[in-house]
């Protein structure tokens, strides 16, 4: 039992000393992106594509709603076969619309692909600059404050966002 207790004490003390020697830095990638003019252009392109696709979906939803309302009005005059045919047509359109919605906005949909394609070059440059700053500054870890990382306090001197922007060639305040 004493061996186990000794092991844990040595482990935690060793971890404390090792972590005490590691240097950390923080960046705010959202702030960095907002300072890069190309990001605004990319953001507008993504928003335009998203709006176009959403408008396409909305018109198809409206079309289906119109068919449903027409069926409700006409159903007393329709034979069971005609009613069933219209219901199947509406159902098929709804399924197709869900597929289209997933195609545009799904997990690996067109919006995701467009974001990846347009943002990748900008993000690659940012991450290369962060890596260079980390290597030069001998930082063991660089954390992104904008990604929901729960940091209760950090020293502003450890924020290297401005250094990343300078490395990318953008003037800072």
Buried b (16+ CB within 10 A) or exposed e, 44-78: eebeebbeebeeebeebeeebeebeeebeeeeeee
pLDDT along the chain (173 residues), means of 10: 37 44 85 94 97 98 97 93 96 97 96 95 93 88 77 66 86 68
pLDDT of residue 99: 97
pLDDT of residue 24: 87
Give the 3-state secondary structure of residue 26.
Answer: strand
Cα–Cα dist 20/45, whole Å: 45
pTM of the model: 0.69
Buried b (16+ CB within 10 A) or exposed e, 132-171: ebbeeeebeebebbeeeeeeeeeeeeebbbbbbbebbeee
Cα–Cα dist 107/88, whole Å: 28
Q: Which residues face 10 on adjacent strands?
A: none
pLDDT of residue 111: 97
Q: How far is CA 11 from CA 14, 15, 19, in A?
A: 5, 6, 12
Q: What angle do CA 108, 44, 128 make, to 5 degrees?
A: 70
Cα–Cα dist 69/82, whole Å: 15
Cα–Cα dist 56/48, whole Å: 12
């Amino acid at each position: 039992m004493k061996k186990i207790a000794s092991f844990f004490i040595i482990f935690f003390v060793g971890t404390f000393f090792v972590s005490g020697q590691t240097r950390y830095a923080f960046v705010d990638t959202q702030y960095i992106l907002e300072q890069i003019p190309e990001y605004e252009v990319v953001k507008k392109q993504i928003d335009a594509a998203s709006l176009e696709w959403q408008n396409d979906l909305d018109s198809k939803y409206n079309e289906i709603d119109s068919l449903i309302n027409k069926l409700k009005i006409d159903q007393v005059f329709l034979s069971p076969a005609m009613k069933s045919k219209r219901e199947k047509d509406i159902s098929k359109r709804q399924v197709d619309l869900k597929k289209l919605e997933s195609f545009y906005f799904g997990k690996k949909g067109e919006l995701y692909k467009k974001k990846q394609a347009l943002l990748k070059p900008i993000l690659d440059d940012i991450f290369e600059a962060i890596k260079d700053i980390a290597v030069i500054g001998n930082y063991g870890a660089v954390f992104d404050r904008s990604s929901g990382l729960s940091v209760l306090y950090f020293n502003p001197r450890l924020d290297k966002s401005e250094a990343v922007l300078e490395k990318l060639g953008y003037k800072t305040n």
